[in-house]
Structure 1
Amino acid sequence: MNELQVLPTPARGPQLWWGMLFLFLVLSGLVYGAFSLNAWLDDEQQLPVRDIQISGKLTYLVKQDVELAIRRNQPGSFFELDIQRALQDVEALPWVYRASIRKEWPNNLHVHVVEQQAVASWNGDMLLNIQGGTFAAAVPEGLLLPKLFGPQGSEQTALQGFHAMQALLLRSDVQVDELVLSERFAWNLKLDNGLRLNLGRDEFIDRLQRFVDIYPLLQKDQRQAEYVDLRYDTGLAVGWKPASAATSG
């Protein structure tokens, strides 16, 4: 009868400790590598944003101002740069209407800018763009803009009225130099020849058409008109400059 022999179990203590030590070293290496990689990515000397390419039709905006707006509040690291923050900083520049920013590997940025298009000054301290929105910017030298005034919130109404009147005045060879929209939404104009028009609140386009129709007669008159009041259902009233003022003018 064969006897069953039970072999002694080899001691596993040393192998277990070596296995745990190996696992610890692997995990430590991974943690150290992650920290090292993060530190390397944060280090702007390792991968800084080197080139900021700016595109778009720019007339009054300076490219250096766009680059400075991005770098002023951002870390130098390409990976750490916050696109949303950079976009806010660029769009806060006076002449920027809209912008987009994207990262380009390995360490460049591309910024596309749509510049504000100023069509008029607004209330003496702001500018109006073609959408009827206001923005604050210094008027560049040589840029002549019509002056629009009106209550807060009436920007688009004033701009639409201005465009309609300007189109109507084209064939009379005069332009709107100043437009005032009162609190009661009455329209007053000053033309580029100094003549003032009072159009009132209602049917101001029809009233301006009446002025266009009689303007050739005013030009033929030896007297010089100072203002024309068109707040009548029919007809108008003309105020004449004194003879001395008309002669000196």
Structure 2
Amino acid sequence: MGLVALATLAWGGMWALDHGSETAVLPLETVRFDGDLERLSEAELREAVSAHLQGGLLGVDVAALRRGVEALPWVDTATVRRVWPDTVRITIREQQPVARWGEVALMNAKARVFQPRTLPDGLPSLTGPPGSAARVLEQYQALRLALTPLGLEPIGLDLDERRAWTVELADGGLIRLGREDTQSRIERLIRAWPRITPAQDQRIAVIDLRYPNGFSLRWTQDED
């Protein structure tokens, strides 16, 4: 059963099928894709479904079709249904990445990690031990809410093997949170921040919050 044509639209596409000697009572003539498909390619979709189209409209394995499509890295969910008299309709929701995870993967808002061939730019960078994706994302979101009103923009968060947190800021600075009492340490920084006035050419190098009753702050000067 060959796939011979794809009409690409902004919202998806449709394949017409050439059955050749297909003798099914209700042959499958068309596979239709719906959804806002921006990152999925024709070749990927073709490969994902081509092995699961035998058996005509009634005999096609819709569960296998769904699994095949959802195995693609950029697919979050897929639903498959038969449409009388000759069509299978596959509705796809693409992944919406919210962060990079490690060096080669992305993470969506549900902390599901997926690994496409290429990674988009402009996303925060999160890292942590295996199995810690949900915890790191939750902590990053809380830190962003807490620090942004101070003019501190987190663009990265690392949870190391010792379970210590390090925040990367947009201006290149770091915030070392350590392992314990992270919430109280951030609150201490928030209370003290209005009294801190950097010189015009100074930027944060490191804020170290790993002290029992205070924190240290080291500045760096702009090169220009």
**Shorter-normalised TM range:** 0.7 to 0.9
Contact 2:171 2:204 in 1 (8 A): no
Give the length in aligned residue pairs. Answer: 204
Which amino acid in 1 is paired with 2:182? F
Task: Say if 1:195 and 1:107 are closer, same or farther in 2 by CA, change over 3 A.
Answer: same
Q: Aligned residue for 2:140?
A: 162
Instruction: Report matched runs for 1:68-217 at 5 Å.
Output: 68-75=47-54, 77-139=56-118, 141=120, 143-217=121-195
1:77 Cα deviation from its structure 2 partner: 3.5
Which amino acid in 1 is paired with 2:104? D
Which amino acid in 2 is paired with 1:172? L
What is the TM-score when the length of structure 1 is the normalising length?
0.72
Which amino acid in 1 is paired with 2:31? I
**Per-residue Cα deviation, 1:110-163 (whole angstroms, up to 9, x for no partner):** 11112212111111111111111111114455x411111101011111011011
Task: Say if 1:206 and 1:139 are closer, same or farther in 2 by CA, change over 3 A.
Answer: farther
Which of 223, 232, 235 is the equivalent residue of 2:211? 232
Provide the rounded CA distance (Å) in 1 between the counterparts of 2:223 and 2:23: 71
Unaligned runs of 5+ in 2: 1-18
The structure that is helix-richer by fraction is 1
Q: Aligned residue for 1:53?
A: 32
SS at 1:78 equivalent: helix
SS at 1:170 equivalent: helix
Provide the rounded CA distance (Å) in 2 between the counterparts of 1:96 and 1:219: 47
Contact 2:34 2:90 in 1 (8 A): yes
Which amino acid in 1 is paired with 2:223? S
SS at 2:69 equivalent: helix
Task: Say if 1:218 and 1:137 are closer, same or farther in 2 by CA, change over 3 A.
Answer: farther
SS at 1:220 equivalent: coil
Contact 2:106 2:115 in 1 (8 A): yes
Runs of 4+ in 1 over 6 A off after TM superposition: none
1:198 Cα deviation from its structure 2 partner: 0.3
Provide the rounded CA distance (Å) in 2 between the counterparts of 1:44 and 1:227: 69
What is the TM-score when the length of structure 2 is the normalising length?
0.79
2:220 aligned with 1:248: no
The structure that is strand-richer by fraction is 2
Provide the rounded CA distance (Å) in 1 between the counterparts of 2:189 and 2:70: 43
Q: Which has the larger radius of gyration?
A: 1
